[in-house]
Chains A and B, each alone.
Chain A
Amino acid sequence: MAEDNVPDTRPAPPATAVRLTDLTKDFGTVRAVDHAELVIQEGEFFSLLGPSGSGKSTLLRLIAGFESPTSGRVELAGRDVTALPPHRRDVHTVFQDYALFPHMTVEQNVGYALRVAGVRKDERRARAREALATVRLEDYGDRRPAQLSGGQRQRVALARALVDRPGLLLLDEPLGALDLKLRQEMQTELKQIQRTTGITFLLVTHDQEEALTMSDRVAVLDGGRIAQTGPPLEIYDRPATAFVAGFVGVTNLVRGAAAQRLTGRPGTYSIRPERIRITPLDDGLETAGPGERSVTGRITDIAHAGPHTRFRVRLDEGGDRLTVLRLNTSGPALPARTDTPVRLAWDAADAYPVPG
């Protein structure tokens, strides 16, 4: 399956950075990771996406070596490292709360991996400065971590993990503690650093937007199992399970009788809110085009979110509720009142069938 996602333009099939084979981890009676199979190519920006308790952090800790699996195998760059302790693996981690050493300066923190590897002091300093420059903190080497802001600490943690160019960088919810604006800045910066260094990044996040915007490929985790692996658009457009459809983005999941009414077929379907057109019922202009499904209903809720407006519509037939997202582009605005009768229409192909 994984080979399908690699473009043919690459000169040679890329080497494997991570290969997890039938990996399982139990904590007592709780199965945190359940028979995970995963292949990450060298140079990829890969995300593990899932809600808390889905096993994504445990998966990361298994790769870093902080946990040992109950069964299964972890391979890094083609080498079986399942039995190796963390310090024998060519992997560095950016921790959720950064885990900077408080008694060391920023420069000593960044140079730690080099110091442990026995690199001479002057070379250590030079390379620590260099790593700090990549995160735009070259003037902060003499400070202590306590004197830095959250965003700066985050970047120091990144520089510390990049200083000796590991084969794989693990990022455990690295942006979770930052405010929205800083988080978006760091997303761009992380992506750029990944591109310029060419190091394989494995990001753990519960934020689907973060995973979708930054990653080359995403694995969605559900209760310790990998529910789907693929490029962001594929995950969004063709969710493999109802869970993926609901977790990645917002969707209307219709099943049973509602599915029969709205799609004319049995099963479970995902209809993305932005794929549904909403128009006033009384303008008489809009009817269902070829290949389209069309229903009528009344607005029950309106939420303005700046660039778009979110409507909740109660359908006349069956009383089902659908969420509709409408971009606030120029053109005739919809009457922003509840109880307005409206017509909803979508391309039949946009009702995507999902198993279960």
Chain B
Amino acid sequence: MPSGTSVPSGTSRTGARLRLAALLTPPLLWLGLAYLGSLAVLLLSAFWTTDSFTSDVVHIWNTDNFRTLFTDPVYGTITLRTLGVAVAVTLIDALLALPMAFFMARVASEWWRRALLVAVLMPLWAGYLVKAYAWRVMLGEHGLVNAVLAPLGLTGPGYGLPAAVLVLAYLWLPYMILPVFAALERLPTPHLEASADLGAGAWRTLRLVVLPAVRPALLAGSVFTFSLSLGDYLTVQIVGGRTQLLGNVIASQVTLDLPLAAALSAVPVVLIVCYLAAVRRAGALDSL
């Protein structure tokens, strides 16, 4: 006869289910209503329209907003520009993160590794606005960047699109370094030794063994850099000069034409979903 502990009776199984339900209901409610629900409402409002005199939202079902997005070339340009910024930021971060993470994971002493980890993580504790305004000060006409570049006969980018890319790359760099660092730390040393042993120099080993091993981590990091850049609107407002990206266009439309802003905000959502699908096909989400 089976003992009571090894085979749970009907009532205790029901109890376990109730406990599980009680445990999961609050987060599921939060996710379902507050999070996804608000997104759904946003998407819904994209099909409404605005009274052109009063700027009030009128609940008339139509697809004019999306038609505007597709017909007015301004929005196509802005979308492409935003996409370009997100790709540029992702590439810059990947190029910066690889050597940095490699040094931290495989070269640095224990002390240096910890010091660099703290250095990478620390900016994440500072407020986003603080960092963006710090860059605004540095990029200003009499700021640090120009002061450093002046002896070389160069001037900084000032405020504008390059500044926005620069600051976004700075802001999201930790999100790229950390997964790549973790992947490089997991990479077994014998794999590197086997590659050298079979005749490969450092570059070949990097290309044939290291990069394939950190590819999922690079893609995982790019999910952060790409989507965070795509949705950002404050950085471009602070250091972007007159640059228009999806984020700040949406932000400025919210008060003028909420339904159009809602339709516009569907664009980065669609782009990110496409990007996630592509990354998922590459098998990178397993390591997130």
Contacts and interface: CB of A to CB of B under 8 A. Distances in A.
Nearest to B211: A103
A200 interface: no
B56 interface: no
B2 interface: no
Contacts of B213: 102-103
A99 B200 contact: no
Chain B interface, DSSP helix/strand/loop, else mixed: helix
B193 A87 contact: no
Interface in B163-199: 188, 190-191, 193-199
B76 interface: no
A112 B193 CA distance: 13
Contact of A93 (B191, B197, B201, B209): B197
A23 interface: no
Nearest to A163: B198
Contact of A112 (B188, B190, B198, B201): B198
B197 A116 contact: no
A85 B198 CA distance: 11
A92 B197 contact: yes
Contacts of B204: 116
A33 to B, nearest CB: 18
B69 to A, nearest CB: 41
Interface in A41-94: 64-66, 85-87, 91-93
Contacts of A66: 193, 196-197
Interface residues of B, number: 17
Contact of A101 (B191, B196, B199): B191
Contacts, number: 62
B199 A93 contact: no
Contacts of B188: 97, 99
Given A99-B188, A101-B209, A103-B212, A91 B198 contact: no
A160 B212 CA distance: 19
B33 to A, nearest CB: 42
A333 interface: no
B187 to A, nearest CB: 10
Interface in A160-177: 160-161, 164
A354 interface: no
Interface string B200-216: 11001000110011000
Nearest to B201: A87
A218 B202 CA distance: 35
Contacts of A164: 199
A95 interface: yes
A106 interface: no
A112 B204 CA distance: 11
A113 interface: yes
A262 B57 CA distance: 110
Contacts of B212: 101, 103
A87 B202 CA distance: 9
Contacts of B196: 65-66, 85-87
Contacts of A161: 198
Interface centre among B188, B198, B209, B213 (most CB of A within 10 A): B198
B199 to A, nearest CB: 5
A271 B193 CA distance: 44
Contacts of A100: 194
A30 interface: no
Contacts of B190: 95-97, 99
Given A101-B209, A116-B204, A161-B198, 13 more contacts: A65-B197, A66-B193, A86-B196, A87-B199, A92-B197, A95-B193, A95-B194, A97-B190, A99-B190, A99-B194, A101-B208, A113-B199, A115-B208
Interface of A: 64-66, 85-87, 91-93, 95-97, 99-103, 112-113, 115-117, 160-161, 164
